[in-house]
Amino acid sequence: MPSDLILQMQQASGDFSCEQFSGVPSPQATYIAIAYADSPGSANMANDLKKALIGALFQFDAHIQQSLPPCNRSCEPFNQCAALRQQNTQKILFVVTDGASNVFNVPGLYGWNYTVIPVMKDNHFISLSKPFSGPQVAFWKVSINEVLPVLWQRINMTHRRSRIFISYKKTDSQELADQLFEELTKERFDVFLDRYSIDPGVEFQNRLFQELSDKAMVIMLESKHYLDSDWVRQEIAFAKKYRLGIMALNIDNAPIVFSIDDEYRERLDTSTDMDAGGRLRTTVMKRMIARIKQEHEKAIFRKRNVLQSSIYSCLKRKKLPFKLDANGFIETSDSKNQKVYKIWAVPRPPEADDFHYTDSNNARGAVKMIVGPKFIEERRGMLNDWMAVKTAIQYFREAEMIKMVEYIHKSKP
């Protein structure tokens, strides 16, 4: 269910201004503070991060609205916000530095006991004092927007695993596909590229559909002969049918996939954007990676949001109560409120981690359920059915959602 997000921003005086956003699709209310080191560049970077965060929030969901916080947007000393006294609120502090200073002149900042995310530009590292020295730094290369996926994952708006499928025509764009595979892998993406990802002897079509179902997003390399491939046409059809995120890289005004809006397309010119070997120049590649990261997070959010919304609609039709708990589970009960059900919605085929998370984050008396996507490759489906039996967690596919809700509604104590 939607939650509130409080955003506090350090001012030149050392106090923090406050803004509130309602309808944020996160299971818990969230408090975020942005502080910066004692240098003009750090202040500018922090303000850029704030603008990027607010802009991205509104892009994520049209239902998010800016609202008046309890303090009436007054400036307060750090650590004085009422949200910090609420037990079930996620509390996150961004500390931003341009690498020129590691001094933070805010009283009470060094006493912070919750989540810290240091933010620095790539190749501008500077050592920080405790408690800011321990956490992993969120680095950015082209735009400070690149650190936002860390936040979305932290507040459970998106999934922590980043998975991408590269669709391309080998005779046209092998070098570019290889380069994207290398660079995205460096960025900790799980990337499928048929040249590296399919072992000899494996049935190609089954593996192709299995990999597509695992991914949140498909990158389509629109080259001169891209649409001539039967495999490519199958990949496009699968991505559209199962609501995968899509981003196209169009090379030299090649024929386009008409079902992809131009807002999800980057146009590349081989004479200016690529070297003689067909690989993107460094600055262009950095820009592409930054854009891919942003689109990937949106894709994960959309898939998860659609799945959760479908479950809510089914529960509403049966007039069953529901809410999103602090761990991201949809909580409901039967028509007589005698049994509690916890539902974990997974926008990709469930894995062992999903069964473990569902089992370990719910009380023993609750009936635990997992809902996965419509398409699951046969072998993966058999494995999920086996894990469901072993863990006593009920497993349903998206197409079985009505059946699941009917079961909850008619459940007996």
Confidence band for 60, pLDDT divided at 50, 70 and 90: confident
Q: Which of 309, 303, 161, 312 is nearest to 243 (CA)?
A: 303
Assign 291 to helix, strand or coil: helix
Distance CA 191, CA 374 (A): 22
Domain positions in the chain are 3-154, 163-303, 318-409
CA–CA distances in Å: residue 409 to residues 111, 365, 366, 405: 49, 17, 15, 6
Q: Which residues have C-beta within 8 Å of that of residue 223, sequence separation ≥ 6?
A: 168, 169, 172, 173, 251, 254
Q: Which helix (H) or strand (E) holds 40?
A: helix 40-60
What is the tens place of the pLDDT at every residue in 280-326? 999 999 899 988 988 888 888 888 888 888 999 999 999 999 988 87
Query: Would the CA dihedral through 2, 357, 400, 402 be positive or negative?
Result: negative
Task: Over range 190-206, report the average pLDDT.
Answer: 62
CB atoms within 10 A of CB 302: 18
Distance CA 214, CA 20 (A): 35
Percent pLDDT > 90 in the chain is 40
Task: Over range 186-192, report the average pLDDT.
Answer: 87
Query: What does residue 82 show for φ and ψ, rounded to 5 degrees?
Result: -60, -25
Assign 142 to helix, strand or coil: coil
If 0-12 CB within 10 Å is exposed, 13-18 middle and 19+ buried, where does residue 75 land?
middle
pLDDT score at 197: 46
Which of 152-161, 260-269, 271-280 is predicted least confidently?
A: 152-161
| Higher-confidence position of 197 and 353 | 353
Pairing of strands 217-222, 245-251: parallel
Which of 47-61, 89-103, 196-210 is predicted least confidently?
A: 196-210
Confidence band for 159, pLDDT divided at 50, 70 and 90: low
Contact status, residue 13 vs residue 58, Cβ threshold 8 Å: no
Distance CA 259, CA 278 (A): 26
CA–CA distances in Å: residue 241 to residues 171, 245, 261: 27, 11, 16
Mean pLDDT of the chain: 86
Task: Report the CATH number of the 163-303 domain.
Answer: 3.40.50.450
Beta strands in 334-390 (DSSP E): 340-345, 367-372
Confidence band for 202, pLDDT divided at 50, 70 and 90: very low
Task: Report the CATH number of the 318-409 domain.
Answer: 3.40.1350.10
Amino acid residing at 405: V
CB atoms within 10 A of CB 20: 18
Report yes or no on whether pTM surpasses 0.85.
no
pLDDT score at 311: 94
Above 60 in pLDDT, residue 196?
no
Domain pair 163-303 / 318-409, same fold? no
Q: What is the three-state SS of 272-285? A: HHECCCCCECHHHH
pLDDT score at 229: 87
Of 92-101, 133-142, 359-368, highest mean pLDDT: 92-101
Question: To 5 degrees, how large is the angle CA 165–CA 167–CA 168?
Answer: 145
